[in-house]
Amino acid sequence: MALAAAENRILRSADTDFGELLASTGSVAPSLILLRGLSGRPDARLRTVLDNLDQLEEYLQAGAIAVIGESRIRVRSLPLA
């Protein structure tokens, strides 16, 4: 996570531990795309992420956790309170 923050990168994971770490440390970076409940092949999950990047870009650049699920997307700005 430290390297991703230092290099201004965005993490993508299905592991909720990353969100918990960001919450517990009060970090403002790195941003995280959290995949929840997405089924199917890896290329289909990647397509879901890519199809939604335009609407998430501003939030992710400012520092956020974006949760992408089967039927909705939620965004929470960092740091989490």
The helix (run of H) or strand (run of E) holding residue 74 is strand 73-77
Strands 73-77 and 10-13: unpaired
Residue 40 confidence (pLDDT): 76
Radius of gyration of the chain (CA): 12
- The total of other beta-carbon atoms located within 10 Å of residue 32's CB is 26
Domain that holds residue 16: 2-77
25-80, pLDDT tens digit by residue? 999 999 999 999 877 788 888 888 999 999 999 999 999 999 998 889 999 999 99
Question: Does residue 77 contact residue 28 with C-beta atoms inside 8 Å?
Answer: no
Domains identified in the chain, total number: 1
Which pLDDT score, from 0 to 100, does residue 42 have? 86
